[in-house]
Each structure stands twice: as structure tokens, then as C-alpha cells.
Structure 1
Amino acid sequence: MARYELTDFEWKAIKPHLPNKPRGVPRVDDRRVLNGIFWVLRSGAPWGDLPERYGPRTTIYNRFNRWRKAGVWDRLMDAIVKAHDGDVQMIDTSVVRVHQQGATGKKGDRDRCLGRSRGGLTTKIHALVDKKGRPLKLKLTAGQKSDIESAPEMIADLPKDAMLLADKGYDANALRDVATARGAWANIPPKSNRKDPICFSKHLYKARNLVERFFNKIKHYRRIATRYDKTAVNFLAALKLVAVRVWLRDNESTS
């Protein structure tokens, strides 16, 4: 098996969630196409540099783009994450640099999730993971957006009696109220300027490093560590495919 390609275990898990009613001429082998997509995501190479063993390069890119528009990648991730353990969840963000290739979109494009800072253009990845560090929800914003701004939406499905772990950047009464309204507990260290006392466990907080490990894993994929995509929707689709693989690799290692 060539580098970066799907294992039999991964392919068996993914296959049932792909469209299975091709129209007209039978389409190019799905597994080969997915292997080509993951080769691009992992290597960071342009789509045009795909090795010939994966088939026509335009076919691979068009399949990725067409199935993104059809919601295939969204449904795939939704199906895979149903097996999550929700009693402990962790939220955090990570900023990625936008390559000059990703900054050349057309004027008038919808929100591209690009922000300008001292280091140039950036995009922020917001992630919610379970207690094994497996992604449950992902969102993109411009790099300069605050971490906590998207947090209420990210934890909207927090289960009753669950514990939410986050760093002190998320220490806000409004976010704690969202967790409390869900019947959950936000175990977040207090900011130095907090006046009212809160309940916080340093021991339980130690598990939060799993969300940081998640970001380390996805950034092994060079097209995630650096954003080359002009559109946020394509970058998010790539991120979700990589997240699915994080799930499957974890499941395969424990099966």
C-alpha cells in the first residue's frame, strides 16, 4: 500500500457513506479517488501534482469539490462521530497561516474566513473534541476573531451531566451559563481579573491536552497546517476529511 492511502479498515468504514447510485458511465473507483485526495491533503502538493496512479487529476479534484457541494463530506463526518463519548468534551482553537495561493479569491466571495494580523493572513480553526481527543464539531473563522465568540454554537449539543474543559480564554459567565442551561459543568480556569469565585478542578483539567493533541495530528496534513484553499468551504471540507481519518485511526488502533 502506497504512503497516505486508506487501510482496509478505513475504507470499510467510509464506503457505506458514499453515494452508491452513479448515473450514466460508471465513475472512477471511489477508493482510488479518496486515496488521491488524501495524498494531496497529506503532502501539501497542488492538485496538479497528483501521481498518475490515482487517475486523472481533474477527476480527483472535481469529485472532491462536487461531493463537498452535495454534502457528502459533512454527512460522512456526522455518521462517524455518532460513536463519540460525550461525558467529557474539550474546546479550543488553532490559527493557521494562509498561503498566498489561498488569498487570491474573487472580490464579492462569501465569508472566506480570512483575517489579517502581524503575521499576515490567517484562519482560525475551532474544534470540540471528546475525551479521547476525537473531533465532534469543527468551525472556521477569520484569524483575529475571539475564541469565545463561536463557543456557544460549538457547545449547543453538550449532553446533560457532561463536563466541558477549556482554557481561561473561555472564562466568561455567559459561556458558563450556556453549559449550566444544558445541565453540564464548565471546568474552566478563572482569569486573573475574575471577582466572583467559581468551582474549578485542576486535576480534571489536565485532560484538556487532548484537544491540543488533536490539532497536532491534523497539522501532519500539510494542506491543513497551511491553508492553500481560496474558499473556506473547501478548506473546511478538507478539515472534516482529515478529522474522519483521526477517528478511524483511533478506532483501528483499539479494535
Structure 2
Amino acid sequence: MSRYDLTDFEWRVIEALLPNKPRGVPRVDDRRVLNGIFWVLRSGAPWRDLPERYGPRTTWDRLMDVIAKDHDGTVQMIDTSIVRVHQQGATGKKGDRDHCLGRSRGGLTTKIHALVDAQGRPIKLTLTAGQMSDIASAADLIEELPEGAMLLADKGYDANALRNAVTERKAWANIPPKANRKEPICFSPFLYKARNLVERFFNKAKQFRRIATRYDKLVPLHRGYDSLEVGLG
């Protein structure tokens, strides 16, 4: 067994979430295929170097949706993190569709926007080009913010538009005010301390080399890796 493989306990939790269609083509060993995907995520190796013991590869986009539904929505946190784009992920042609590739100080980058719950578990993810502002995808991420919830975010999210969007959902945005804000804002430094969970979420996600560095040109593929890793890793 590889050190990247799922433990027996992890597999018992995941197995019930996988599709089970006995008719048609016989299914492959789901655990073996998932272990193969995790091997690529953790090692950062190309798919062609996947050891034969893992068999054929496939995608598991449905898992993130299933796992994300089981979250604590009373407190939610939003933040972003930059990932460098490897030269293999920057091979798009001029005029090609948007692949969320942007230029910043570090060269070609992609920005991961994440919304997590009170336990640091992912609720929703999205990608933008690296130079986009942190708040660019905030409105989309909080679309399903429940009534009475509290949203935690850093000063980069201190904008009236976002605060109004949260208020419309009958929730509260506990965001520290910027120095140039004129009107007083209700802010609790004590409750804000819990925001470290979203930073720890990104720290955990970037333990996977395939997440810390983007090797894939296509957005759906890289987002799929993000979803699978943060949902199960």
C-alpha cells in the first residue's frame, strides 16, 4: 500500500457516496481508481507516470457536491489563495477561451476562491485569473448563505456591495473595516478569530502538489482536482 492510499476508515466513509449501477459494463475497483487519483494529486506526477497497479483513471466530480451538502452553515468563512501555473498548464493559444490564467508578480497564476464552514470544510470553490481581486467571486460564493448565518472575511472583502448582499440574506458580515471607511461598522474581533480555519484549509489543500502548482490547462480539470482533494483529503 502506498502512503497516499486511502485508509480502511476513509474508504468506509467514501464508499457509500459512490454511484452503484450494477447493470451494463462491470465497474472497476473504485478504491483502486481513487487511490490512483490521490497518488497524482500528492506526487504532482503526470498521468502517464501513474503506476499500473492503479488501473484506469476516471473523474469524481459528484463527490464534492455530496460532501459539501453536509456542512455547518451557521458560520462561514471566505478567502482566496494564489497557485503558480506550471509551463505545462500555460500552453493555450492566443484568443483561446478563458482558462483562468493571469499574470502577477509570480508570473502566471490562478486564484482559488473558497467558502468553508465552521469546521474548515469546503462548501464551494471557484477559480479566477491570479490578478483578479479577492472579492471578485464573493457574490457567487455566498448565493446560498443561510438566514441567520455569520460570514467571516478579511479587510479585502470590506465593500458595501458585499455587506448589502449578506444583509439581504438576513445574515451578518463580520468583516474588519478598512482604515478609510467613514461610517461605523459592527465588528467583533473575538468572533473574527475563528477565521483562521479558512487559512488552515488552504494550508492543508496545498500539501497536495497538484493543487499547490497548476499543471493543467483546462479549468474543469484543475477545479476537479481541487474539489476532490479538499472534499476528501
Same fold, TM exceeding 0.5? yes
- Residues 7-86 of structure 1: pairs in structure 2 closer than 5 A: 7-21=7-21, 25-55=25-55, 59-60=56-57, 63-64=58-59, 72-73=60-61, 75-86=62-73
Distance 2:26 2:143 in 1: 41
Report the CA distance between 1:12 and its aligned residue: 2.5
Match of 1:69 in 2: none
Match of 2:176 in 1: 189
- Give 3-state SS (helix, strand or coil) of 2:16's partner: helix
Distance 1:132 1:94 in 2: 19
Q: Which protein has the bigger helix share?
A: 1
Distance 1:106 1:23 in 2: 42
Q: If the length of structure 2 is used for normalisation, what is the TM-score?
A: 0.95
1:152 to 102, 118, 139: 139
Report the CA distance between 1:25 and its aligned residue: 4.4
Distance 2:115 2:25 in 1: 40
Per the alignment, do residues 228 and 198 of structure 1 end up closer, same or farther by CA in structure 2, a change over 3 Å counting?
Answer: same
Distance 2:44 2:22 in 1: 30
Distance 1:105 1:34 in 2: 29
Q: What stretches of structure 2 of length at least 5 have no aligned partner? A: none
Letter in 1 for 2:8: D
Query: Alpha-carbon deviations, 1:167-217, whole Å to 9, x = none?
Result: 000000110011111111000000011011100111111110110000000
Distance 1:5 1:46 in 2: 18
2:107 to 113, 120, 129: 120
Residue range with higher mean Cα deviation, 187-196 or 11-20: 11-20
Report the CA distance between 1:54 and its aligned residue: 1.3
Distance 1:240 1:178 in 2: 26
- Give 3-state SS (helix, strand or coil) of 1:200's partner: coil
Query: Alpha-carbon deviations, 1:76-99, whole Å to 9, x = none?
Result: 112112221111100000000000
Tell me how large the CA RMSD over aligned residues is: 1.5
Q: What stretches of structure 1 of length at least 5 have no aligned partner? A: 65-71, 247-255
Distance 2:97 2:220 in 1: 10
Match of 1:67 in 2: none
- Give 3-state SS (helix, strand or coil) of 1:128's partner: strand
